[in-house]
Amino acid sequence: MTIDDLYFLFQEEELKGAVVLVYANKQDLPGALDDAAVTEALELHKIKNRQWAIFKTSAIKGEGLFEGLDWLSNTLKSGGS
């Protein structure tokens, strides 16, 4: 999926107001991108009409996965966008 595809999806009526959870995986590896680099690479700073968050994760170690799901659950419970 490209950035253009992502932003095209954001225009879909069914996804208006959807929140965005980004998992920055492989944080256990050297050279992993920090939040600012992920934000820049995905151009998340352009998202103005919905909530979004980045969670650093390591799927191998199981780190950050539940924190992201907790954020998603709490955000949706509080009304989302």
Residues annotated within the binding site for GTP are 25-28
Q: In sequence order, which residues have a C-beta less than 8 Å from that of residue 4 and are 6 or more positions away?
A: none
68 within 8 A of 21, measured Cβ to Cβ? yes
Which residues make up each annotated binding site?
25-28
Residue linked to tokens 């980045």: 54
